[in-house]
Each structure stands twice: as structure tokens, then as C-alpha cells.
Amino acid sequence: MAEQLISLWEVFIRSRNGLAHKHVGSLHATDATLALQAARDLYTRRGEGLSLWVVPSNAITASDPTDKAMMFEPTASKIYRHPTFYEVPDEVGHL
Amino acid sequence: MATGSIVVTETPLIRYVLRRADDALILGHRLSEWCGHAPTMEEDMALANMGLDLIGQARGLYSYAAEVEAAGRSEDDYAYLRDERGYGNVLLVEQPNGDFARTMVRQFFYSAFIDPYWGALTASTDATLSAVAAKAEKESAYHLRHSAEWVIRLGDGTAESHRRARTAVDDLWAFTGELFETDDGERALIADGVAVDPISLRPAWLETVSAILAQATLPLPEGGWMQKGGRGGHHSEHLGHLLSELQYMQRAFPGATW
């Protein structure tokens, strides 16, 4: 009965040098505020990051592994989609 | 090889530093007692983290006391080799953990006091105390937030959590007055700008506590009679038992290192 009140949350951290939040794990909490605090206590003990996201796990829609072939294999042979045929001048820097 | 208790030569500054360190050590020890026993894994980590924060604060302060006393002592000597009467912590922090509500209420009452206290102490004319305070304030800010959020959820929760939270508030209220006590030695340090006058922080403390208890649908206790004695080394029946666990290794194996 109590299990329905405590939901699962996924935790994402952006590190000091990072550009994007990365998934680091999950935790159980009853609401968003406590989920954020728990994420801070569980996943940032070693200075892992500067920014935390917590997302209820049931808000995430994931692709079905059995659809891997249909979803992702067709792109493997379409190299014309890759921006690798241009010479990028050094002054442009990181694209 | 010394196996007995040490007796500290206490100047007002040393007594002041040891009191702050003892508050942190004893409360940190109480939180460590939850390790492996907390209601959820997340809380087990949170309580252990808070305990470690407090023990870290104690270490910094005991090391400073050692430097000031200049009697060749280490931080461990103060933590593990004093008798119960030598400890100057407030009675609030030595109270047993009880249930989770009691632990959170105790933490809340203490953190609502110590967070503004550390904030004010960053302006101390004593450089070491100012540095300790700057670091400790960030930790205590989190302890305050964590415990306040729980007090709200426990108070404004189920009938059982409300009952337990209410009992905790009513039982621990009489220990909150001691947080604001000073004595002559400490007043001299306050006048020198070394220490902070805790009484000046009481209005803000009461405002914080009232606001959170109101959100938690818990009544603010009335009644002004407050327990005291801890600052003078006169402790409740709990500290002796706590110290017998805390000091066991050092007393059984004097001088042990690893």
C-alpha cells in the first residue's frame, strides 16, 4: 500500500566540465523536493556535479529493444547525412 | 602511557571552542547510530552524511582547541579522553534518537539555531573560527533544509506521523532554551568580537521554527521552563552511555593507531 506513494526517480547530473546532464542512477522518493535532496545525498558525495535533474521514471518513454533493427539500423548506410565532407577551418573551433 | 581521562586547562576561549565541538561531535554520533537502521536507503545516506558533516566540524574545532591549549594534545584526546563532566554540549544533542520524527525534530531545532550562528561567526575576529564557520554554514544550511522538509511531511502527514512528530516537538521543546545560554567567559569573548551572542539569534530562530511548525500543522509549545546544565558539564543520564560507546576503543586500547 505504501509502495504506491513512494515512486522511482531517475537522476541526471551535469558535472563541472560537462555540457550535458548524464544519467547516473535512480532512487525512491515521495515527491520532487525529497527526490532532489536524496539525489544530492546519494549521487554527489564525491563532487560529481554542479547541476541535478530528477525525473519521475514513469515520465520517461524508452524505445523497445526489440525494435532496434527497425529504429536504428537504416541510418548506418546513409553516410550522406553525416557532416564529414566539409573542411572546418581551425578558427571555427568546436562545432 | 596515559590511560586515564585528561583534564583540560580551560581558558574562556578553549571552553567556548570545546562547547561548539562537543555539540557537533555528540549530535554527529547520534546521527551515526542510524547507519544501517534508517527507514529508507536514501535516508540512511542522508543521516550518515549529516553525521559526517558534524564530526568534520568537531574535528576542526578540537584541532583548534589543541593549538590554543598548546599542551601537546590532539583532536582525538579531546573527543575520546575526557570524562562526562568535561563535555560542554547542550542537552538537546545528547537526547536519544527515538523514532525518525524525534531525530528530525531534534535536528531541525538545532540546525535552525546553528545555521544563522555559523553565518554570524564568519565575522569573528578570530581567523580560525571564521574559517570553520564559513565551511560549516553551508553544511548546516543543508541540514536545516533537510530536517525542515521532513518535519513538514511528518507533521502534515498521516495520523501516526503527526502524533509522533507532535510528541517529539513537545518533548524536545524544553531543551531548546539552552541553545541561547551564555556565561561570563563567553560574554567576554562576545564583547571582543570572537564569539557570537546567541540571544541575538533567538528571534530569527523562533520565526523559522514557528513557520515550519505551522506548515507542519504542529502547535508551537507554550511554557517557558527550559532544561539546562549541559554547558556546565551537568548532563542528562544519556551522555554517559553515549560516551561509553564513543570512547570504548580509545579506552580499551590506549594509543592505538591504524
- Contact at 8 Å (CB) between A11 and A43? yes
The radius of gyration computed from the CA coordinates of chain B, to the nearest angstrom, equals 18
Give the list of residues 6+ apart from residue B40 with CB closer than 8 angstroms, or none.
A6, A28
Phi, then psi, of A12 in degrees rounded to 5: -125, 135
| Cell (9 digits) for B85 | 563532566
* pTM for this prediction: 0.92
B2 vs B187, which has greater pLDDT? Answer: B187
Average pLDDT of chain B? Answer: 95
The neighbour count for residue B211, using CB atoms within 10 Å, is: 12
Alpha helices in B70-158 (DSSP H): 75-80, 91-94, 100-121, 127-155
Confidence of residue A93 (pLDDT cuts 50, 70, 90): confident
Q: Which residues of A touch B42 (CB under 8 A)?
A: 27-29, 34, 38, 41-42
Q: Once rounded to an integer, what is the mean pLDDT over residues B44-53?
A: 97
- Contact at 8 Å (CB) between B215 and B156? yes
* Predicted local confidence at residue B2, as pLDDT: 52
Please enumerate residues of A whose Cβ is less than 8 A from a Cβ of B.
6, 27-30, 33-34, 37-38, 40-42, 45
pLDDT (tens digit, 9 = 90+) per residue, A60-75? 999 999 988 888 888 8
C-alpha closest to that of B78 among B59, B52, B92: B59
Compare CB distances from B40 to A28, A33, A40 and report the shortest one's residue: A28
State how far the alpha carbon of A21 is from the alpha carbons of A57, B42, B60, in Å.
Answer: 16, 21, 35
Domains of chain A: which residue ranges?
Answer: 2-86
Q: How far is B146 from chain A (nearest CA, A)?
A: 7
B12-250: in CATH 1.20.140.10: no
pLDDT (tens digit, 9 = 90+) per residue, B33-44? 999 999 999 999
Q: Which residues of B30-60 are buried (b: 16+ CB within 10 A; e: fewer)?
A: bbbebeeebebebbbbbbbbbbebbbbbbbb
**Chains A–B, number of C-beta pairs less than 8 Å apart:** 28
User: A34–B145: do the CB atoms touch at under 8 Å?
Assistant: no
| Cell (9 digits) for B199 | 540571544
pLDDT (tens digit, 9 = 90+) per residue, B145-165? 999 999 999 999 999 999 999
**pLDDT score of A85 more than 80:** no
Q: How far is B42 from chain A (nearest CA, A)?
A: 6
B3 vs B254, which has greater pLDDT? Answer: B254
- Contact at 8 Å (CB) between B202 and B180? yes
Give the list of residues 6+ apart from residue B131 with CB closer than 8 angstroms, or none.
none
User: Mutate which of A37, A45, A52, A54 to disrupt the B interface (most B C-beta within 10 Å)?
Assistant: A37
pLDDT (tens digit, 9 = 90+) per residue, B81-128? 999 999 999 999 999 999 999 999 999 999 999 999 999 999 999 999
CA distance B130 to B193: 11
Percent of chain B predicted with pLDDT > 90? 95
- For A6, name the nearest residue in chain B, comparing CA atoms only: B40
Label residue B220 exposed, middle or buried (CB < 10 Å: 0-12, 13-18, 19+): exposed
ipTM of the complex as predicted: 0.85
B132 vs B4, which has greater pLDDT? Answer: B132
The neighbour count for residue B175, using CB atoms within 10 Å, is: 22
Confidence of residue B203 (pLDDT cuts 50, 70, 90): very high
- For B143, name the nearest residue in chain A, comparing CA atoms only: A37
Amino acid type, A31? D
Residues 21-50 of B with CB under 8 A from A: 40-42, 45-46, 49
* Predicted local confidence at residue B4, as pLDDT: 83
The neighbour count for residue B94, using CB atoms within 10 Å, is: 27
* Predicted local confidence at residue B1, as pLDDT: 46
CA distance A81 to A87: 16
Is B146 an interface residue toward A (CB < 8 Å)? yes
- Contact at 8 Å (CB) between A27 and A42? yes
Phi, then psi, of A11 in degrees rounded to 5: -115, 135
- State whether residue A51 is helix, strand or coil: strand
CATH for A2-86 is 3.10.20.520
CA distance B126 to B20: 15
**pLDDT score of B3 more than 70:** no
The single-letter DSSP state of residue B219 is: P
Compare CB distances from B42 to A33, A41, A45 and report the shortest one's residue: A41
User: B46–A28: do the CB atoms touch at under 8 Å?
Assistant: no
Q: How far is B183 from chain A (nearest CA, A)?
A: 38
CA distance B67 to B62: 9
Per-residue DSSP letters for B49-88? HHHHHHHHHHHHHHHHHHHHH-SS--HHHHHHSS-GGG--
Cα three-residue angle A80-A85-A86, rounded to 5 degrees: 135
Domains of chain B: which residue ranges?
Answer: 12-250
* Predicted local confidence at residue B211, as pLDDT: 98
Confidence of residue A88 (pLDDT cuts 50, 70, 90): confident
